[in-house]
Amino acid sequence: MFILVVGSTDISKIPGISAAGANLDVLPYTAPADADMLWWGRPRVVDWVPLDPQGHPTPAIITRAARIESDFPVTLVKAGTSVAPKAPYVETGAIPGLNPAETTSLPDGEELFQMGQELAHSLSSDDDPLVIGESVPGGTTTASLVLEALGYRGMVSSASPENPTNLKRRLRDEAFLRLGIKQGGLAKRGLIALKELGDPMQPIVAGLVSGAPKDKEIVLAGGTQMLAVAAAIRHMGISRPITVATTCYVARDVSADFNGLAEEIGVNTWSAPLDFSGSPWTGLSDYEKGYVKEGAGAGGAVWYAERLGVPTSQVISRTEKIYGAMVETNV
């Protein structure tokens, strides 16, 4: 089962913090459009494909390509987006995460964790792995805050080649001042870290992992955002095996030590060997220059496709076809 959890945080409204949308007006539609893209092959909540400020397409097209080629089952979970997808989804009742520099991010954090546990019981009835992806504009920033509060280096990847680290540091300083903590101040208090500093996707995914049967293979499909969830899970005392599957673009990002951080947290890693360097489309070939990198569970979707016997080259080819059709029809 592939689960895509779409959420939002008020952090994304801070100018310059998120590369998930070209402007603040379209950001509320970005995650729901990713959900639609995975389900139908094109957004229906809006009539355009989510782009970064430079015009590069959402990695949800990679996730969609992997699904088409391997036909894995999909469940969409709405976790606090202000706009709902048009595709069928599971409602959690979450609201968008608040700005942690000003107040507790997730007043209902414990309830969201419990919701995730309940979802796990209903979505874990077969022997297939549980592959969980996310789409949360501004989510690398909440990931950084959670990681630092738990005692890890807050080096996280960004959807842009220019990681807005100064903005993230200022937000961290303000949030930690509000809480009266320093780095590591919430160690061993994983759920509290998510509640105070995270976004609604995080406790729901943590609950999914916690509530799944002990013999269920768990793959968190994402980059440093999923490492933050994994870290919180470890700081809740949950020691079950977890793999974080991402793209090669995150794994080799010099601004984030993905593999080193994963080893420190205690999770396995896998990176999808994607290569769009030969693409005729700049929107895809620029992935090789550090744009976009990961999102909508792209790396984990490629992992799932490979598990089902579909080589990455086939997913790449399908991604090219999907994007080419979009360009030609001006979607």
Model confidence pLDDT, tens digit, residues 256-279: 789 999 999 999 999 999 999 998
For residues 128-148, average pLDDT:
94
Contact 13, 24 (CB under 8 A): yes
Could you tell me the CATH number of the domain that includes residue 289? 3.40.50.10210
Burial label, 186 (beta-carbon count in 10 A; 0-12, 13-18, 19+): buried
Q: Which two tokens stand for residue 309?
A: 């016997």
- pLDDT over 90 (residue 298): yes
- Between 249 and 196, residue with greater pLDDT: 196
Tell me how many domains the chain contains: 1
Average pLDDT of the residues in 193-211: 98
Q: At what angle do helices 298-307 and 60-70 cross, to 10 degrees?
A: 10
pLDDT given at position 13: 85
5: pLDDT strictly greater than 60: yes
Q: Can you give the pLDDT at residue 161?
A: 53
> 119 or 257, which is more confident?
119
pLDDT at 264: 95
Q: Which domain holds residue 301?
A: 2-329
Q: Express each pLDDT in 150-195 by its tens digit.
A: 999 866 655 555 555 777 888 999 999 999 999 999 999 999 999 9
Quick check: helix, strand or coil at residue 123? helix
Q: What pLDDT sits at residue 18?
A: 57
Phi, psi of 42 (to 5 degrees): -160, 150
Give the list of residues 6+ apart from residue 125 with CB closer than 8 angstroms, or none: none
